[in-house]
Structure 1
Amino acid sequence: MERRRVSTGTDWESTVGYPRAIRAGDTVRVAGTIATDDEGAVVAPGDPYEQTRHALDIVANALDEVGTSVDDVVRTRMYVTDIEEMDAVGRAHGEVFADVRPAATMVEVSELAAEDAVVEVEVEAVVG
């Protein structure tokens, strides 16, 4: 099976050994994504809404690079450091996926890989 990989060039991807997204056949999986800029700094420290929007922008770009879009997303997972922020995270998710309505999970975790990150998002898509 052919695999197409997308990298955003972050240190994490090369150090840990994974791509931002991988397409295998008609299935696309986007790795857990936090809101970082091109230098790897966390965007909007402590702001769950802005971090979710930014992370989903990164996800959308990765999907585009493997020939799909958010319209093909069937599953999302959101990891948050404070479940009390679920409304802000959910609002950002809903703005991107309102018409798509993928199966979604949100869970609280004790911390994420970057100190100021409060949200991490991963998605799965099926093309065609």
Structure 2
Amino acid sequence: MDHARQLVSSGSPLEPQIGFSRAVRKGAHVAVAGTAPLGDDGTTVGQGDVYAQTVRCLDIAQAALKAAGASLEDVVRTRIMLTDVTRWKEAARAHGERFAAVRPACTFIEVSRFIDPEWLVELELDAISD
């Protein structure tokens, strides 16, 4: 079994600045970093819309999983961080659309804010993929 460390970038300018990777694969384990609702142009997608922002976060995370040789079916844990946890059902709808059959362990967390105040949600994923 190869236990080399594989780093995946999403192209975010914050990755080299902060010193992180969008995802890291080590053996069968894949960890996807806190993923914000950024568009390809670096602006916030779905301003004011928790559902749209969650969909964007999931799109970015899913692409990172694929680049690391994993898929949504390999996800064992998700963490959804919201600036207003009373809006959890909006994020849950997007999560359920992707994970209804997979049903990973999932946690919703309220945070005071994110780096960009336009972000209403961020998420993290952990996967195990042989």
TM-score by length of 1: 0.97
1 CA distance for matches of 2:112 and 2:70? 32
2 CA distance for matches of 1:22 and 1:73? 14
**1:108 corresponding residue in structure 2:** 110
Secondary structure at 1:4 match in 2: strand
Equivalent residue pairs, number: 128
Picking from 118, 121, 124, the partner of 2:120 is 118
1 CA distance for matches of 2:115 and 2:105? 25
Shift of 1:115: 1.6
1 CA distance for matches of 2:51 and 2:118? 14
2 CA distance for matches of 1:14 and 1:45? 26
Extract structure 1 runs of 4+ deviating beyond 3 A.
none
**2:89 corresponding residue in structure 1:** 87
Gaps of 5+ in 1: none
2 CA distance for matches of 1:113 and 1:104? 23
TM-score by length of 2: 0.96
2 CA distance for matches of 1:63 and 1:56? 10
Shift of 1:46: 1.5
Picking from 76, 92, 97, the partner of 1:74 is 76
**2:5 corresponding residue in structure 1:** 3
Percent identity between matched residues is 45
Secondary structure at 2:32 match in 1: strand
Q: Answer yes or no: is 1:41 the counterpart of 2:60.
A: no
**1:15 corresponding residue in structure 2:** 17
Shift of 1:40: 1.6
Secondary structure at 1:63 match in 2: helix
**1:27 corresponding residue in structure 2:** 29
Shift of 1:39: 2.3
Q: CA RMSD in A?
A: 0.7
